Amino acid sequence: MRRTTPPFVMFAVVWAAAAGCTASEGHDHKEGDHDEGQHKEAGHKDGDHKKGEHNEDDHGAAKPAKGAHGDEHGDEHEGERSVVRVAKEAIEKNDIRVEKAGSGRIGGGVDAPAEIGFQPDKVAHVTLLVPGRITSVKASLGDKVKRGDTLAIVESAELSEAQGASGQAQAALDVAKKSFERQKELQTAGIGAKRNYDEAEAQLRRAEADVAAAQQRTRVYGGGSSGSSLVVKAPIDGEIVERHATVGEVVDPEVPLFVVADLSAVAVEGRVYEKDVAGVELGAAARLTLQAYPGRTWEGKLDYVSPHLDDKTRTAAVRMSLDNAERKLKPGLFGTVTVLGKDESGPRALVPASAVQRTKDGDVVFVPSRSEGEFHAVPVAVGAKREGRAEIVSGIAPGDAVVVSGAFVLKSEMMKSELGEGHTH
């Protein structure tokens, strides 16, 4: 009885970028590998080929596939991409199925972990410019304050020195004024030297500048016209959300005494994962849900989308501002921001989430070529995902044929080919 060899499945994976590779590359043919009889049997006349010369047609080698999915998709998906060829038996065995991509939008949007924070321009950390000792605290945690309200009093040696320097500058200015007035009278009487008058005027101007600088330094430090008392004032309207000031404590400029924040509005800061970045746009509608308030949502729009990804977390920062009249949105609360997308966005290609495969170069989907059993990996940008479906922002269009089942098998074979690159034939 003859024993038949069971059928087997073979995957052949080639790179479209190898379109310049011929069947003769990598083969070392010597003279005499094909005798004249063999050429005659193949239907070639003597002299058609010189000894040792062979072309692709002599061996029946298949030409490498082009970098597009057949003729019908060549204009739609340009550039280099990998090609997977699959035997008919393998297609059936691995349930590799092709369907047309749907059209529409996924309402759920992109989910991103988020935290409520202060509005950047509505929070102030109150610090000192000089070291000192706190002698009085006028504000308590939770107090509502107005800009300019006194929060604390600090005695500062440096402020005292600045006040002393200001006094000395003022005294020098008084002397310079008298000298200038004297020279001016002599000049008017015609008995004073012009040179002495000019020098007195220059000295007066220098003294005036020294007084202005000393007074400005004192004001910046927070001191009054005299003494060593430094007045710490609220820089904005808001609420005392942090207080680190204690009477008798010695403080330095690096430690904030108070944090004042306007909580009438808050910023919701989210982190969008790399795989979802394509579905996030500036101005997109967004919805906030919080663990502290199950079942309740807050609506807004993204007013900031980071132009780059964090190197460590591989996420992009997004932010939206929300009114907080009820004071329920407390900075520090955790929740989820769901980015819904802009209302004016048109329909996108919809495919099963399993049709999208992750590779080292990004997300891809597989599309069929005109040649039976041949599939191309097409790079795509993925938007929202919901209930097993994914929006494709770019790469394919609604109605394009896509592998909806068995895409992982094609990816696996493609990866095997990449690992095997560089072998000889």
Tell me, yes or no, whether 6 lies in a domain: no
Verify that 207 and 272 share a domain, yes or no: no
CA atoms within 13 A on the CB side of 118: 16
Residue 193's domain is classified under what CATH number?
Answer: 2.40.50.100
Q: Which domain holds residue 309?
A: 110-119+262-341
Domain CATH number, residue 83: 2.40.420.20
CATH number at residue 296: 2.40.30.170
pLDDT at position 223 = 60
pLDDT at residue 267 in the model: 96
| Within-domain flag for 354 | yes
Q: Which of 324, 341, 358 is the last residue of a domain?
A: 341
Residue 238, SS3?
strand
Instruction: Report mean pLDDT in 10-residue bins for the chain, 425 residues.
Output: 42 40 40 41 41 40 38 42 84 92 77 93 90 91 94 80 76 89 83 83 89 77 64 93 92 89 95 87 90 89 94 94 94 92 70 92 91 91 81 91 93 79 43
pLDDT value of position 12? 43
One domain for residues 271 and 239: no
219, 240, 260 — which closes off a domain?
A: 260
Residue 17, domain member (yes or no): no
Q: Are residues 321 and 307 in the same domain?
A: yes
If asked whether residues 29 and 94 sit together in one domain, one would say: no
**pLDDT for 253-296, tens place per residue?**
888 999 999 999 999 999 999 988 887 889 988 889 998 998 88
- Model confidence over 376-391: pLDDT tens digits? 999 999 877 777 888 8
| Residue-level pLDDT at 128 | 85
Beta strands in 31-119 (DSSP E): 82-86, 97-100, 102-104, 110-118
pLDDT recorded at residue 149: 94
**Statement to judge: residues 45 and 100 lie in one domain:** no
Residues 362 and 402 in one domain: yes
In a domain, 336, yes or no: yes
**Single residue among 291, 315, 341 that ends a domain in this structure:** 341
In the chain, the number of structural domains is 4
15 within some domain: no
pTM for the whole structure: 0.50
Please spell the DSSP secondary structure of 266-279, one letter per residue. Answer: EEEEEEEEGGGGGG
Structure tokens at 159: 């402020």
- Same domain? 213 vs 319: no
One domain, residues 335 and 252: no
- Position 344 scores a pLDDT of 52
248 & 141 share domain: yes
Task: Determine the Cα–Cα distance for residues 309 and 15; give it in Å rounded to an integer.
Answer: 31
pLDDT of residue 303: 94
Residues 243, 176, single domain; the answer is yes
Report pLDDT digits (tens) over 181-231. 888 888 888 787 888 888 888 988 998 898 888 777 777 666 655 566 788
Same-domain status, 38 and 140: no
**195 in a domain, yes or no?**
yes
Tell whether 65 is covered by a domain.
no
In a domain, 266, yes or no: yes
pLDDT confidence of residue 72: 41
Residues 134 and 226 in one domain: yes
Query: What pLDDT score does 317 carry?
Result: 95
Q: Which stretches within 141-260 are classed as H helix?
A: 157-189, 194-221
Burial (0-12, 13-18, 19+ Cβ within 10 Å), 28: exposed
Distance CA(314)–CA(302), nearest Å, equals: 20
**Calpha distance 390→108 (Å, rounded):** 11
